[in-house]
Structure 1
Amino acid sequence: MEQTRLKVLLRRYLDNSLPPSALKELIAELQQDTHQDTVLQELGQALAGGAYATPTDTEKKDIIFRSILQKAAEQEAAAVLQPVKRHRSLWKAAVAAMVIILAGVAAYFAAGHRFTNHRPVLARQDVQPGGNKAMLLLADGRYVTLDSTNKGTLAQQGSATVSQTGGGQLAYDGPNANDKEIVYNTVFTPRGGQFRIVLPDGTKVWLNAASSLRFPTTFPANERRVEINGEAYFEVAPQQSSPFKVAAPHAEVTVLGTHFNVNSYMDDGAVKTTLLEGRVLVTHQGRTVALKPGQQAQTKDGIRILEQIDTDALMAWKDGRFSCNDIPLEDIMRQISRWYDVQVIFKDNITDTYSVEISRDVPLSKLLQFLELSGGVHFDVNEKTIIVKK
């Protein structure tokens, strides 16, 4: 097909003048890689009113183009329209496919336009994402507010100097202590907060939202032990003579030097310990198992080992992303609830699984719109409450 003919079909579709008899022709042509530039250019200009140029990054353009067309080819794809029956007509299938294409290009251009066929997320006021904020409980019972802006020395705790280095990081500097000198600090992140801590041995800890880490301000010579609630990622500084132990509800993790993640959120069910590098020992109810990289131990009423964990998705929170691949909506909404500090209420029983890949820096409405693109779910936001329904 000539490029001119394809442009005519696309433009006629966009102005609602394309007859049903031409739909098969348009859908077939959308599958052709040779029309990639034409499709992106026409749809991009339609969305941006000509203000946004077609992207020149070939690799990114190819990825978005192929992912869009894959969805467009599926007649069972859940569109951004009102819920539809599985056995839809050709016309409805084409409309759904085109809306998905428009949605994908809109996300790619980040133009912020809404689709006329899309029920927008209802929100009186948008909810902003979380950020670097926490509270530090000192040994004498005083609290210190932590955020991204403060820098400098905060306190002297035992033989350790406590300082904030900016960018949401707390650091402890001091020698190993004897038992009489050990004092404890605790860092609490609220819902909608995260923070990083550099422990006195050089171990780095990323603390997720609604979590806490209790630790000695200087470690004794023979053992390094901390306590975790919620979720944290550890990069443990190696010390052969001093094992590093993480105590969590229903589990204890022992390492010498490694990278691992502990999720002990009570509403997530079991405590999940996932190994990224090195080797760890997980102990629960007197039983100890060794993990290899890519394995996850789940502990509650016993120990269950899962193989080949998607560690990239698991660690997305640390890297500032939501990354969910075909998981229940309830699991996704728990993550959203913690990060945006909102309450989630399900009005309907939704058993479908969903996928999402998006920055944790976007406002809540953008993330919910992204989920709605998968179909079968709609969100109403009333201040700090999300109503989930079909």
Structure 2
Amino acid sequence: MKIDDSIFARYQAGKCSAAEQLLVERWLDQLDRFPEPEDRPMLMLLENLDDKMPFARKRKKQSLWKWIAAASILMVLSTATYLYWSSRADHFRYANIEDVKAPIKSNAVVVLENNMEYDLDKLKRNDTLNTGSYRIVRTEDDEIIYLTDPAQQSKIVYNTIRTKTGGTAHVQLADGTQVWLNTNSELRYPISFRGDIREVALQGEGYFEVAKQERNHKRVPFFVRGNTQTIQVLGTKFNADFTSNNETALLEGAVAFSDHGSHLGQSKKDQFPVRIRPNQVYDGKKIIEARDITRYIDWKEGYFELNDLNVGQLSRKLSAWYGVEIKVDNSLAQVQLFGRVRRDKSLKEVLDLMGQVYPMNYTMKNNYIYIK
């Protein structure tokens, strides 16, 4: 059976006639009975829809286009409903599952120099927290900034922003550096930088856009200090994952590494023998060339990047985001995924998307989800 390639473009744009729509859906339902398209434009059309699809188990090359077609065209239709695959619910059964919603709050606190904690969700947009000697503002863009008078500061004052499960935060430091914190992370920083260095301490994961700063015609270095690694920065954009993954991905500029942890105010001179270029990743042992460096900041952009990810790895990301423990059967843990899915979906929607492509069951008991 030969299908006109232009039908897919009209189907994607929602401009098919009723007869054409029925034809495409019947074709999707019988993929294995039809030959692959032989023309390159058709294959490129299907491949270009990849980022609109949910997940798929990696299969042998000659049949991959079928899964791209089925899932991609489906996801174009609607982000809220699943027209075609919803009729195939027999692929996915569940029982006793609660609909865990995506976090809608910051789930973050700021810890002042006197160890007092303030819930950032109580600080509304365009509101100000007056601490006495400085003010903390939450802007219209949901960014935390500081209003200070350095002349009134007789010593370095440190604050900490800490995100909880499902939490994120965005803070602008005194030098203009922008930092985004992922869930279950912590950033300790001075409200004003002094001396000939700038330094912050990170636990967890953060994305940095470091501002250039000069003093006496010399560039002021910037250090990100962790428990097992220290990063020296020279005006750049990078993602530092100081969790068990221990990966730093460089988007722009240059960074160097010391494979030793350090703390704020540390006086000893560390050596930084490892240096990476843009589109490279350092995992503490080796330098990796990244095919798509932006996948390391998927969390900042509001989605889960699934390329080069398996079900076991995704389950750990979902656990951290939704606040439930997920256990995956060994037979599923290594199933490979690709595509992407938004982080504002409920956990049930994410699990349903997985089940539409690969048969699995999930159950929930005592805040544990079991996938098998």
Both structures adopt the same fold (TM-score exceeding 0.5) = yes
1:342 equivalenced with 2:314 (yes/no):
no
Q: Which residues of 2 match residues 44-83 of structure 1 at below 5 A? A: 66-67=46-47
Using the size of structure 1 for normalisation, the TM-score is: 0.72
1:152 equivalenced with 2:121 (yes/no):
no
Corresponding residue for 2:101? 128
**SS, match of residue 349 in structure 2:** helix
AA in 2 matched with 1:125: E
Post-superposition shift, 1:105? Answer: 4.0
| 8 A Cα contact 2:92 2:355, kept in partner | no
Deviation string, structure 1 residues 32-87 (Cα, Å, up to 9, x no partner): 414436766359966xxxxxxxxxxxxxxx999625999xxxxxx869xxxxxx9x
* Shift in CA distance, 237/347, structure 1 to aligned 2, threshold 3 Å: same
AA in 1 matched with 2:99: D
AA in 1 matched with 2:164: P
Q: Which runs of 5+ in 2 are unaligned?
A: 23-41, 51-55, 261-270
AA in 1 matched with 2:103: G
- Counterpart of 1:306 (choices 266, 269, 288) is 288
1:288 equivalenced with 2:273 (yes/no):
yes
Instruction: Single out whichever of 100-109 and 37-46 deviates more from structure 2.
Output: 37-46
Corresponding residue for 2:334? 351
Percent identity over the alignment is 27
* Shift in CA distance, 69/332, structure 1 to aligned 2, threshold 3 Å: closer
Corresponding residue for 2:31? none
AA in 2 matched with 1:250: T
Please give the alpha-carbon distance, in whole angstroms, between the structure 2 residues aligned to 1:337 and 1:212. Answer: 18
* Shift in CA distance, 43/377, structure 1 to aligned 2, threshold 3 Å: farther
| 8 A Cα contact 2:47 2:68, kept in partner | no
**SS, match of residue 300 in structure 2:** coil
* Shift in CA distance, 199/34, structure 1 to aligned 2, threshold 3 Å: closer
| 8 A Cα contact 1:329 1:353, kept in partner | yes
* Shift in CA distance, 235/176, structure 1 to aligned 2, threshold 3 Å: farther
Corresponding residue for 1:246? 224
Post-superposition shift, 1:204? Answer: 0.5
| 8 A Cα contact 1:44 1:109, kept in partner | no
Structure with max Cα Rg? 1
Please give the alpha-carbon distance, in whole angstroms, between the structure 1 residues aligned to 2:362 and 2:48. Answer: 23
Q: Which residues of 2 match residues 188-267 of structure 1 at below 5 A? A: 188-241=162-215, 242-266=220-244
Corresponding residue for 2:81? 112
Output the aligned Cα RMSD: 3.5
Q: Which runs of 5+ in 1 are unaligned?
A: 1-24, 47-61, 71-76, 80-85, 87-92
* Shift in CA distance, 318/78, structure 1 to aligned 2, threshold 3 Å: closer
